[in-house]
Chains A and B, each alone.
Chain A
Amino acid sequence: MSFVANIPAWRELIRASIRFQFMYRFSVIMGILLAGVTIYLLTVVWTSAYAGQDEVGGIPLKLMLVYLTISNLQSWYLKPGIGFDIVDRVREGQIGFDLTRPVSYPSQLIATAAGDQLGMLPMVVVALPVAAVLGELAAPPSWQAGVGYLASFIIAWFIAVELAMIIGLVAFWTLEMTGFMMVYNLVGGFATGALVPLWFMPDLLRQAVQLLPFQSIVYVPVSIYIGIPATGSMYTAMALQVFWAVVLAGVIAIVWKRALYRTVIQGG
């Protein structure tokens, strides 16, 4: 029952964060340009590495460039800011207000993150031509791959939000997390496969990356898009994503319970 009763509250949170995204159009456009800069560099670097060969290890250059372009477009789009929000609100003591609201804090965060993504959706119209000019875009090889990608993308969003939430919850234990955040962003950024796809990584590194949840955010959905799904079939690939979504939800449930006990409001 409480689920239905909570819907209006979540809807308002979604609305508020959509408006927030519109207010910061300028920095969103800057973000698109920076993603474009990365896409163009990767295109040039990988084209140079192929050195005129049509394909390397069974991967044609064109497919490789489509992979890199979609991956970086997607990593630009899927950057939940809620991790930083949590840290800020814990530091400023505003977390106290969040906790007194009648809907649970984790569900407030998911609603906020959903609003952020919806608010950024119109910006995709700007980002697509930028990516098409600076990189290489192509339709998926079949409609099944296209539909599979959309489904996989939604699970990827959920995993990205879950990971951001877990990192943000660390703030309940320590506020000195700049160094930690940096390490997380980097390891995470690389392990998603957005810069180097898993099939070109050396064996040991690839095996390590396969044990982490990050590949489910970029590599898995994009591999479905280009028609060579990560685990061989797109159903097992999505099953892997669902597995991580469930595991991380469990981790959040445990961490959140302990975080609540640790909460100290520093005035406000």
Chain B
Amino acid sequence: MERFSLMRTLAGAAIRSELQYRANAVSSIIGGILFQITGFIVVWIIAARFGQIGDWGLAELTFLYGMRLTSHGIFYAFFSQMFELDRVLITGEFDRYLVRPLPPLMQLFTRKLRINCFGDLIGGSALLIAASSGGVVDWSPIAVVYLLLAVVGGALVEGAVQITLGSLGFRFLQTYPLRASVNEVFNVYGNYPNVIFPTALRAVLTFGLPIAFVAFFPASVLLNRADELSVPAWLASIAPLVGLVLFLIAVRIWRWQSANYQSAGN
């Protein structure tokens, strides 16, 4: 319990420090929204002109994009500091984390808040609402709960991948280029129905890099398309659970690898 109140205090400080610069905060949020809107405009233009991508219509593609974006926003709200890891390790800032009474990973997460995550959250929710008004999902209370679990699960999948790759940093120090590239692959490939790819790549994007679990599988479930997948429907529907499990494994890997930390000195 004490651990959570400590985390709340740290996170609160991070948020307050970010809001000190109002103009920049507002422009970051708007920038965040525009960033994703551009990606969506490509989907929209193609779907409007050609009617489908991978046999998914505009409303379904919008729903998928909205789910992925919302997940990414949650991921970014909690784990954005993974992208600062190199600096934390190289400058020896990590030394301080080791002597404080909170797991180092949690101190890293609460180090700072990147406010453009709100852009993703606003944009993602707007797309989900727009797509839902097209009547592509049968909204029952269970469906709503599943959607909420799924967007959190998607964020955990992305977090798990970044934490796992980040733990390589204890050996190689500089892992940012690798992690940024993987994040980019999630950002562009995750927005499209996995069915457009050749079979081998579909498998890679499911079991190699678990991109399909972020949004494509749970979206297929909610859109009643789970029977068209190349994996069993039950596997697709437990996507939120897969996110949680991957996350717990990633934290284990992180703890195991952090034994290799060599301080740069302070």
- Chain A residues with CB under 8 Å of B197's CB are 44
Let me know if B28 and A179 touch, CB within 8 A.
Answer: yes
Question: Which residues on the B side are within 8 Å of A195 (C-beta)?
Answer: 42
A34 in contact (CB, < 8 A): yes
Which stretch in B30-38, B64-72, B89-97 binds the other chain? Answer: B30-38
CB distance from B177 to the nearest CB of A (A): 5
Residue of B24, B34, B49 touching A186 (CB-CB under 8 A): B34
Chain A, residue nearest B185 (CB): A37
Give B56 Cβ to nearest chain A Cβ, in Å.
9
Any A CB within 8 A of the CB of B189: yes
Which B15-59 residues sit within 8 Å CB-CB of chain A? 21, 23-24, 26-28, 30-32, 34-35, 38, 41-42, 45-50, 52-54
Interface positions of A from 169 to 204, Cβ below 8 Å from B: 176, 178-180, 182-183, 186-187, 189-190, 195-196, 200-202
Say yes or no: is B184 at the interface (Cβ < 8 Å to chain A).
yes
Task: Judge whether B254 is part of the interface by a CB distance below 8 angstroms.
Answer: no
Inter-chain CB contacts under 8 Å: number: 84
Q: Which residues from chain B contact A201 at a C-beta distance below 8 Å?
A: 45
B192 within 8 A of A: yes
The residue of chain B having its C-beta at the shortest distance from the C-beta of A37 within the complex is: B185
User: Complex formed: what's the CA distance from A187 to B30 in Å?
Assistant: 13
Q: Closest Cβ of chain B: how far from A181's Cβ, in Å? A: 8
Does B34 lie within 8 Å of A182, measured CB to CB?
A: yes
**In the complex, which residues of chain A have a beta carbon less than 8 angstroms from the beta carbon of B35?**
182, 186
Residues in chain B near residue A200, CB distance under 8 A: 45-46, 49
A37 touches B188 (CB 8 A): yes
- Which of A30, A45, A182, A187 interacts with B192 by CB under 8 Å? A45
How many angstroms between the C-alpha atoms of A51 and B51 in the bound complex? 10
A-B contact pairs, 23 of them (CB 8 A): A26-B177, A27-B177, A30-B181, A34-B184, A38-B188, A44-B192, A44-B197, A45-B196, A48-B53, A49-B47, A56-B49, A176-B21, A178-B31, A179-B24, A182-B34, A182-B35, A186-B34, A186-B35, A186-B38, A190-B38, A190-B42, A200-B45, A201-B45
